[in-house]
Structure 1
Amino acid sequence: MQEKNTAYRVLALNTIAFTVCFAAWMLNGVLVTFLVDNRIFDWNAAQMGMMIGIPVLTGSIMRLPLGVLTDKYGGRPVYTLLMLLSAIPMYMLGQANSYNEYMLYSLGFGMTGTSFAVGIAFSSVWFSKERQGTALGIFGAGNAGAALTTLGAPSLLRWLTNNGENLDNWRKLPAYYAAALVVMAVVFYMFTTNRKPANGQRSIIQMLAPLKQVRVWRFGLYYFLVFGGFVALAQWLVPYYVNVYAMTIVTAGLLTSIFSLPSGIIRALGGVLSDKFGARSVMYWVFGIIALCCFLLFFPKMEIESPGSGVMAQRSGTVTALSASEIQVDELTYPLIPKVEVNYEDDAVILLPKLNTWQESNVEVGDQVAKKELLASGVTHIYFQANVWVFTFFVFVIGIAMGIGKAGVYKFIPQYFPTEVGVVGGIVGVVGGLGGFVSPLIFGRLLQSIGLWTTTWIFFFVFTMVCLIWMTLVVRKISKKDTRIEVAGS
């Protein structure tokens, strides 16, 4: 009973610490948007993508060594030192005056992202294999820290800067985050009990042996999508809402939290579902839902005028009369579709594209026209609202699917690598975290080159289909192998 209570206490503090670290890790999504929006720094879309992603890079590449250290020394000292050391560059971020300085300090506080590898390894040693899916799902709910930043940081910035009157006070925000990391480190060290896995004293080479297996990298690819995609969107959606829907940063943060908060919390349910139905079944649903929603988000907010169906003369003659509704050539009358002015702003919600078609005369009274000559050109006007609430609903569904998928992927790890959770979880976390770094860079480049914000969803759709196809091929291979074994044994 004593050990059970200790396990629950460790899991609770692991989750809270992860929430604080994740909130710190996601700071640049809000802060960079604020700094560029208020012209404190003059950074283009590609530079913004780099700055949003740079903390994610550190938090990703350092997950493997931190996972190894946790297996070797236990989570209590590693987690505590991680938070204390990360607080230093977080504080210094408020002193940055240039792109390079801001990038350097962002690389430093990005270490908070390694908290995931530490917490996964430290949580798993306290629970049996049968309960690890649920336990790790609960721990992963700390992803909700992203919502704490997208919800709270914009309001804090507005308060600190007195609604923009004293913009230089943005520098106090990183100091608040640094203080939260220090307080959490002290609480964590005081109230947790250290524990290491039974095989934690193996050599580094022995601990890294699982990385030779393709399966590890396949799990990493899945995590690139469900975790890296979550991290990227939790930050990228703030400038997305600001630019596409002309919202304030506070409103953008609020709507972004509709994506990030449920996605973090639902991860616990993902662990339960993975324990009950198996990770593979869960991941099929996850990939299918993400692919469908991303496809529906392909189409940008747009107004397009395109050539439509025109009117041609059936025989030669002279134009004798002309109006908005008809053209008369000698005794023959050609009806026209008149233009009807439509105010689309009167419609609160437009789900599907709206078409408005009309015809415009190309001739005047007295003109001589030949047979098959174009009398009136057709015009088709296409309007698609890409309504913000419909958009937010699909983003919300993607967030839910990603949250469940994150737990699904980490259910695979203790199932296939029960004694190497820290190492395998570390490398899967590295690949997944790199998704959070690479994706904003890709978003920024696609936006600059094509000019469409919706290229974000095209990228995710293609990547999701790659994951789905690869998993399907592996499952078929396993099924054929199992069939051959059954036939051989019958």
Structure 2
Amino acid sequence: MNSIRRRLLPLQTVSLVLGFMVWVILSSLMPFIKEDIKLTSSQLAWVTAVPVLFGSITRVPVGYWTNRFGARKLFMISFVLLLAPVFWISAADSFEKLIIGGIFLGIGGGIFSVGVTSLPKYYPKERHGFVNGIYGIGNLGTAISAFGAPVVADRIGWEQTVLLYSVLLVVMAVLNFVLGDRQEKPVVTPLMEQIRAVSPNAKLWLLCLFYFLTFGSFVAFTVYLPNFLVSHFGLTKVDAGIRTAGFIVLATAMRPIGGWLGDRFNPFKILIVVFAGLTLSGIVLSFAPAMKVYTLGCLIVAFCAGTGNGTIFKLVPMYFSKQAGIANGIISMMGGLGGFFPPLILTILYNATGHYAIGFMALSQIALSCLILVVWLYYQDRLRLSANIIESTIEAILITDTNSIITSINPAFTAVTGYTSEEAVGKKPSMLKSGRQDKSFYDEMWRSLREHGSWQGEIWNRRKNGDIYLEWLSITAIKNDAGEVKCYAGMFSDISNVRGAGKRTG
């Protein structure tokens, strides 16, 4: 298994690098392509957005097929299929031909689902965040194309540059054939059955929203920056490519760090920082700042988007351990769609208003919404953990309001007393009284609760069947931030056997 791990992680990561390189051919070379093929601003937006759309849609079936047929076959087939659009685009001379080629370039983005579905099979759950983060370094493929393609095209032309990708595709198809795992364990659950199993879970759609924003902003900026930097700031095509590559490198470098942070710390805390940063950067960019401030805003987006991309996939196996493949596919699909819509929306807004401010402000508001939802999930997770602890503890627990009315009990309470939740909730703890303690005993208990907020000691109580038993009881007053008592929590255990004091009334 260790030898397979050492081989597959770099193999699949490099395969993703190539897939992403091919996926963004059109956006990387658009400053050159639009000199030969006349495109309106709307057509330009569609040409760069179509590969993103189809790359996103294919991620769900690709994740399913990976589970069924294995990563080796999926990578091989994908690289062979990508040869067709590469040759087609190299000879394209119209908007329509670029659109047709872009549709099939989407395969390059769809293969993201291969690794996130396959690699976790070879690692323990506590390392999934880091492993998926390492695999996510494949995002670097977009940087390689954004930086390298314009440099090569400046020397040999964009058509010949596109053809060079076919050599790499053949090489990686062969490497996957030779080095891929031929014994990968298949999962043959029908696709629709898997979708039905995960779709009712609200957390799936919240993770989709989070990844829609983090990966979507990464893809959107990757597609949008090269042409924007040339047209808005007057940079050369090569300079714009270098700056875009810097954005991609930072976002890509932060992805494994985000996965590692998700493994090491609470992932929700990491996402709180991520969405706070995206909210801030969106506001900064909406004011159309000068080049230095604009660069800072973009770098914040790269830092936060990359970190969030790695952290989110740590959460998937936490909630979908049995359906990780289909959940990864759906979530990554939504992330890709997050990169499809922004360039189109920005183009529409720019044509209507003459600037991009509204689009960037929308980014900040969506990020703010995600921030609120993550905070809510964080506290829900803590409450759920507390509830699980209460439900699972061997100590009997009851909660009462300030009027001494029982509001909840745990299973251990029923095991000790015999009273079920239906029988106990709404009653007072006096239902357990044995009659062995006098009024002064209870007066002293309440005096301690009022003065110190707690009481503990031995007390005789009666079970539902009439048995009298001795228990060790601790009572704590639960207060709010203002210091007001909101409820009382009692925890007790039966110590009759320890003391040899169990009796039965008759």
Shorter-chain TM-score: what band? 0.7 to 0.9
The alignment status of 1:58 with 2:68, answered yes or no, reads no
Give the aligned partner of residue 27 of structure 1. Answer: 25
- 1:109-188 alignment, distance < 5 Å: 109-161=105-157, 170-188=158-176
Give the aligned partner of residue 269 of structure 2. Answer: 281
The alignment status of 1:68 with 2:72, answered yes or no, reads no
Give the aligned partner of residue 75 of structure 2. Answer: 79
Query: Which residue identity is paired with 1:112?
Result: G
Give the aligned partner of residue 459 of structure 1. Answer: 362
Query: Which residue identity is paired with 1:237?
Result: L
Higher relative contact order (CA 8 A, sep 6+): 1
Give the aligned partner of residue 376 of structure 2. Answer: 473
Unmatched runs of 5 consecutive residues or more in structure 2:
391-398, 400-408, 411-490, 492-506
Q: 1:204 & 1:227 partners in 2: Cα distance?
A: 24
Q: 1:478 to 1:273 in 2, by over 3 A?
A: closer
Query: Which residue identity is paired with 1:111?
Result: I
Q: 1:116 & 1:52 partners in 2: Cα distance?
A: 19
Superimposed CA distance per residue, residues 290-343 of structure 1 (whole angstroms, 9 cap, x where no aligned partner):
11122122212xxxxxxxxxxxxxxxxxxxxxxxxxxxxxxxxxxxxxxxxxxx
Q: 1:457 & 1:137 partners in 2: Cα distance?
A: 27
Count of aligned positions: 392
Q: 1:273 to 1:480 in 2, by over 3 A?
A: closer
Query: Which residue identity is paired with 1:58?
Result: F
Once the two structures are overlaid, the 10-residue window that deviates more, 470-479 or 65-74, is: 470-479
The alignment status of 1:204 with 2:178, answered yes or no, reads no
Q: 2:327 & 2:18 partners in 1: Cα distance?
A: 24
Does structure 2 retain, via aligned residues, the 8 Å contact 1:56–1:434? yes
Query: Which residue identity is paired with 2:291?
Result: V
Q: 1:178 & 1:394 partners in 2: Cα distance?
A: 36
Q: 1:194 to 1:396 in 2, by over 3 A?
A: farther
1:262 aligns with one of 241, 250, 253: 250
Does structure 2 retain, via aligned residues, the 8 Å contact 1:75–1:194? no
Q: 1:214 to 1:197 in 2, by over 3 A?
A: farther
Give the aligned partner of residue 222 of structure 2. Answer: 234
Does structure 1 retain, via aligned residues, the 8 Å contact 2:71–2:180? no
Q: 1:455 to 1:434 in 2, by over 3 A?
A: same
Q: 2:63 & 2:216 partners in 1: Cα distance?
A: 18
Once the two structures are overlaid, the 10-residue window that deviates more, 188-197 or 142-151, is: 188-197
Give the aligned partner of residue 439 of structure 1. Answer: 342
Q: 2:199 & 2:170 partners in 1: Cα distance?
A: 34
The alignment status of 1:390 with 2:293, answered yes or no, reads yes
The alignment status of 1:91 with 2:91, answered yes or no, reads no
Query: Which residue identity is paired with 1:202?
Result: T
Give the aligned partner of residue 328 of structure 1. Answer: none
Does structure 2 retain, via aligned residues, the 8 Å contact 1:295–1:461? yes
Unmatched runs of 5 consecutive residues or more in structure 1:
162-169, 301-385
Shift of 1:49: 1.3
Calculate the TM-score normalised by the size of structure 2.
0.75
Shift of 1:441: 0.9
SS of equivalent residue, structure 2 residue 199: helix
Give the aligned partner of residue 338 of structure 1. Answer: none
- 1:235-250 alignment, distance < 5 Å: 235-250=223-238
SS of equivalent residue, structure 1 residue 175: helix
Superimposed CA distance per residue, residues 393-420 of structure 1 (whole angstroms, 9 cap, x where no aligned partner):
2211210111110011111111111122
SS of equivalent residue, structure 2 residue 122: coil
Q: 1:454 to 1:152 in 2, by over 3 A?
A: farther
Shift of 1:190: 0.9
Q: 1:221 to 1:396 in 2, by over 3 A?
A: same
Shift of 1:482: 5.0
Calculate the TM-score normalised by the size of structure 1.
0.77
Give the aligned partner of residue 16 of structure 1. Answer: 14
Query: Which residue identity is paired with 2:327?
Result: V
Give the aligned partner of residue 103 of structure 1. Answer: 99
Does structure 2 retain, via aligned residues, the 8 Å contact 1:133–1:407? yes
Query: Which residue identity is paired with 1:68?
Result: Y
The structure with the larger Rg is 2
Shift of 1:430: 0.9
Query: Which residue identity is paired with 1:419?
Result: K
Does structure 1 retain, via aligned residues, the 8 Å contact 2:76–2:174? yes
Does structure 2 retain, via aligned residues, the 8 Å contact 1:90–1:175? yes
Q: 1:230 & 1:422 partners in 2: Cα distance?
A: 23
Q: 1:238 & 1:114 partners in 2: Cα distance?
A: 23
Q: 1:297 to 1:205 in 2, by over 3 A?
A: closer
Q: 1:480 to 1:131 in 2, by over 3 A?
A: closer
Shift of 1:481: 4.9
RMSD (Å), alpha carbons = 1.7
Does structure 1 retain, via aligned residues, the 8 Å contact 2:11–2:176? yes
Q: 1:197 to 1:449 in 2, by over 3 A?
A: farther
SS of equivalent residue, structure 1 residue 266: helix
The alignment status of 1:416 with 2:403, answered yes or no, reads no
